[in-house]
Structure 1
Amino acid sequence: MTHHRTRLIASLCLLANCHAAAAMTVRADGDTRLTLRGTVTGPISSGSKAEGTLFRAHYLRLRRPLRLDDGAACGGQTLDRLALNQEGMARYQGRTVTVEARVFCQENRTGTYHLADIEIR
């Protein structure tokens, strides 16, 4: 009976367009490449210039939350946007793009995952 309920709930969720966060294990050395689709937003600033933690970047807003886990400094996090750590992202602001990039933990500034070595497709 439990199996049938689980299948029924999963089917109803699909019909209602429910989305669970996709899970992705990333390497702690920052050498994992991902291909993601989303809308470029920003720029957004965080941190403090006086403390040397100021960070300003455009972001890739994802269509669905993404769960990343490096098993190290950043640990498991479910994100709906990722910082684009690269110059020239302003020209894509407001556009939906496919990005191939390296995901890494920006431990010393934001304590979350960022994208670098970005290729827009």
Structure 2
Amino acid sequence: MVKINLNNFRRSDGSLFVYRPKVYFDNLCFEYGEKTIDEKLEILSELVANGMNLVSEIERYMKDRSPNTLASLKNTLAYYFLYLKGEDPYLTGFHGLDDLPEIRLAAMLQESLVTHYDDIHFKNSIEGL
């Protein structure tokens, strides 16, 4: 499990945010390769479980982005959602999820990240027995 210091992801007002969002959301840039998909999802899960609003972060990220970056974002969010469900959308297809608006995908992903966080912590508690 990835360990993060939540203070590194806090704004001055105390709210959580995605530090260096290109690492998480822009699969067309070189920063995206800095972490594995599992690491990214674990970090996003922890942030969401501790109160970060992923939908708001996506809305903030989308401002002043190119059409290519927005297309990349949509594919990335759909990919994450399906990956958490145990699918590899590059093998099984996106099932039309990549046609949904980014904000809808972010809301769906946020719900899945909470479940993912609970699953990670449940597995770790069993392994610690």
TM-score (norm 1): 0.26
Whichever structure has more helix as a proportion of its residues is 2
Whichever structure has more strand as a proportion of its residues is 1
TM-score (norm 2): 0.25
Larger radius of gyration: 1
